[in-house]
Every structure is written in structure tokens, then in C-alpha cells.
Amino acid sequence: MTCRFLHRSLLHRCTPRPPLFIQYRSFSGRLPRVQTLNPKNLTEYDFRDISGRETASPLIGRFKYLKYGVYPKQTTGFYYYWTHPDLPATAGQLRFRLTPSSDPSLFKSGSDLLRPNGLPWSVSMARLFGVQKFYYTDILLEDGLVTKDVIYSDYFRLYQRHRLNLHSVLLQSFEEVFPLDLPQPSQILHVVTPRGVERIRLRLGDHSWVEDLKLVEPGKQVYAHARLQVYDHEGQFAPALRVVRMFSPSGEELVSDFPLIKLGQFKAFQSWYLQVAKEIVEGGYHPHTCAVTNKS
């Protein structure tokens, strides 16, 4: 996603700030709101120490580290908005970058806060807007991180209209890349189709090769990006998942020819993958459809 970073208003720049130790550290009650979620605009006043807290947030809302438990010791750093070129503009996340001090220049060398299962602590854009929408839309717009078209798109209204869990993965097409945690036995997708929003449970089967990569300790998971793909198995076309990118706990990206996660036949996919199969046979498909053959 291409971002244009906007200048803050004169009024915002002239607002008096409290002393630093009051601004970022509070031993009881709520912490003050951060001034930006854009890593390029961070200042020492956006630094937070949320160690030992049950809930915390940069603006409003109560975001937990775990369902039961508190944020770990030395959870100090900066809240920021994370996105990736693989993902649609609606798939941004709130994350927390760990740094030992309030110096914003340490942001790049820091690492994201992880949950005990090895996955990044994050809050989806859908959930951010489900808290009290205008607080987060205002700061994301002011930071130039999203556009009004994204914020007011029908995408986020679909969560309410179809009563979807705010943690749900919602795809606007079968071709979109989406976040995937591996290994896990299944993944639920919600896909916008001409018939409405369809709920699909993918049985992921055996993908022990993920652990063979040794990106994380045994028993933990890896954050990845994946997309649906059609493959040719002995003359029969069927859907699969193609992992396009994986991330180490430190944030390093691994791009490789990962094995396909084969899904078998699904009625929900049928009209899509049969159309793709037809295009493959006729030679009319294009790489941007994310559907290619794989006979391995």
C-alpha cells in the first residue's frame, strides 16, 4: 500500500506536553494517548511501559496480552500501525515494538511483542474500528497510513452485518493474500461471494515441513501470508493454499517455494476453481489471479 504522510496541524504541534515521565509512565490508571502510530513520526512521548498490566491501548479500548494474564516484564516500546505489500489495505494491524528506552531511533533495531505461542501480538483493523471507530480513524488518517476510501469501505460494515467475530479473516475475493498462523489443523475463512459472505473451514492436514524450517521453537507457531491456488493433480484440478511468505519471530521474511497445502474438493470453492481450471486449460489465465498449475 502506498502511503502519503501528512503534516500535523499547527494546533497539534503547539499543544503543551506534560513532563516525559508523566507522559509515558503511569503506575495506576490509564496511560495518556499516543500522538502517532506512524513509525516515522514517533517521539519520546509515544514511548510506553505496559509491563504487568492486564489491559493497555494507545488511545482507547482495553487490549489484553492474554485472555488471562498480564503483559510480560520489560514490555516497553512503541505502539505502531503495521501493514505489508502482500496484504489488502484493510488488513492492517496494531502492533507493539519493543525497545529498551524512549529513543525512537531504536525502533528499527527492536522486535515486535510476541505472544507465548510465538505469534506477534496484534489487533486487527476491524477490531480497532469496532472499539470506538473515530479515535483510530482520526489518527490513522492524520498519520497518512490509510485513506478515507479504506475506512469507509463496505468491508468493515460486513463484520457487523454478518455478525462476524472481529478476529475473523474476511476476504473480498478468492485471490486475496491473507494472514495464516502455522502449523494449525484448520483455518476458517469468510469470503465475499455473489451469494453473500460464505464461511469456509479449511482442513490443513499435515504440514510438518513448517517445523522443519526451525524458524521457531518446537510447539510454537509462525506468522505467514498465504493465498488460495488451483493445482493440477493427475489431471484433476483442486484448490490448495500457497504460502507466499513466512516471518521469523524477529520479523525477518522468508520467501521460498514452500510446499502446497492441499485442501481437497470444496463446494464453496467449486465455481471459482472450475473457472480457473477452465482458464488454465484454455491458456487464458494470468499470474495476477494467483492461480497456477502445480503437478508435484
- In this prediction, residue 278 carries a pLDDT of 63
For cell 461471494, what's the residue?
A: 193
Burial class of residue 16 in the structure, from the number of CB atoms within 10 Å of its CB (0-12 exposed, 13-18 middle, 19+ buried): exposed
- In this prediction, residue 131 carries a pLDDT of 59
- In this prediction, residue 265 carries a pLDDT of 64
- In this prediction, residue 215 carries a pLDDT of 83
Alpha-helical (H) ranges within the chain are 10-14, 20-24, 125-142, 148-151, 154-161, 209-212, 267-282
What is the SS3 assignment for 70-105?
Answer: CCCCCCEEEEEEECCCCCCHHHCEEEEEECCCCCHH
- In this prediction, residue 216 carries a pLDDT of 80
- In this prediction, residue 159 carries a pLDDT of 87
- In this prediction, residue 271 carries a pLDDT of 64
* Residue 294 near residue 233, CB atoms below 8 Å: no
Please give the chain's pLDDT, 296 residues, in tens: 444 444 444 334 444 444 443 344 444 456 678 999 999 999 999 999 999 999 999 988 889 999 889 999 999 999 999 999 999 999 999 999 999 999 999 999 999 999 999 999 999 998 888 755 678 899 999 999 999 999 888 888 888 888 888 788 999 988 899 999 999 999 999 988 877 888 888 888 878 888 888 888 888 999 999 999 888 777 777 788 999 999 999 899 999 999 999 886 666 666 665 666 666 555 654 444 444 333 33
- In this prediction, residue 268 carries a pLDDT of 62
| E-assigned strand segments in 156-260 | 169-171, 178-182, 186-193, 196-203, 222-233, 236-247, 253-254
* Residue 38 near residue 5, CB atoms below 8 Å: yes
How far apart are alpha carbons 267 and 228 in whole angstroms?
Answer: 14
